Amino acid sequence: MVEVGLLRTILLETGNWNDAGHPTGRKVSCVNSFAVEGQYFNFTTAGQWLWDELDILIPAGEDPYYLTNSVLKLVSEQTQADAALAEQEWRRVTQRSAIQTFSAAPAINVRPTNLGVNLVVRYVVNAHSRYEVRTRLYQAIVELLHGNKLAQATDTAVPSSP
C-alpha cells in the first residue's frame, strides 16, 4: 500500500502475468467505497494465491506435441487442489461484483525458438508453497524429458524384425 487517502487508496502492483512474483512498479488506484462495501479481502489472512510460471525448453528434434501435452497434464495434476481452492475463494470474494467467471486451470504457451520449442506454463499456487511446488514440478518435468530421450534412444537402437 503506497497511500491511503480520503477517497482513494493507491497500491503498488507486484507480479505480472509474464514476470511472476516480481514488483512491476505500476500503481493501482482504488476507490475506498469498494473496501467499505466489502469487495476486497485481506491477502494476509486468506486468498494467498499467485500465478507462477515455468519456462521449459524442448530441444530441437524432440516431439513438442507429446511433451507439451505431457507437461500440461503433469502441472494440472500437481496443482489441481490449489486451483480448486483458489477458484472457490475468488468466487466467494466476487459474489457481489459483475466478475463471476474465474478459471485457475494451468495454461501453456508454446513459442518456437532457434534452439527448439519454449514452453511457458502458468499455474495458480499458494504463496507459501510456491517454491516447493516449483521444485517438485521441475523435478517431474526433468524426469519426463529424460524418460522421453530414453524412449527415443530405445526406439532407434532396436532393429526392426522383418
Which residues of the chain does CATH 3.30.70.100 include? 48-157
Query: Which tops the pLDDT comparison, 103 or 54?
Result: 54
* pLDDT tens-place string over residues 104-159: 889 999 999 999 999 999 999 988 889 999 999 999 999 998 886 666 655 554 45
Residue 156 has a pLDDT of: 52
Residue 90 has a pLDDT of: 74
Query: Which tops the pLDDT comparison, 21 or 139?
Result: 139
Length of the chain in terms of residues written: 162
Residue of 125, 144, 141, 145 whose CA lies nearest to 53: 125
Instruction: Say how far residue 1 (Cα) sits from the centre of its chain.
Output: 24
Residue 158 has a pLDDT of: 47
Could you tell me the end-to-end alpha-carbon distance of the chain, in angstroms, rounded to an integer?
A: 72
Q: Which amino acid is at 157?
A: A
pLDDT band at 162 (very low <50, low <70, confident <90, very high): very low
Query: Which tops the pLDDT comparison, 11 or 81?
Result: 81
Residue 5 has a pLDDT of: 85
CATH, domain range 48-157: 3.30.70.100
* pLDDT tens-place string over residues 31-72: 887 766 665 555 555 557 888 999 999 988 888 999 999 999
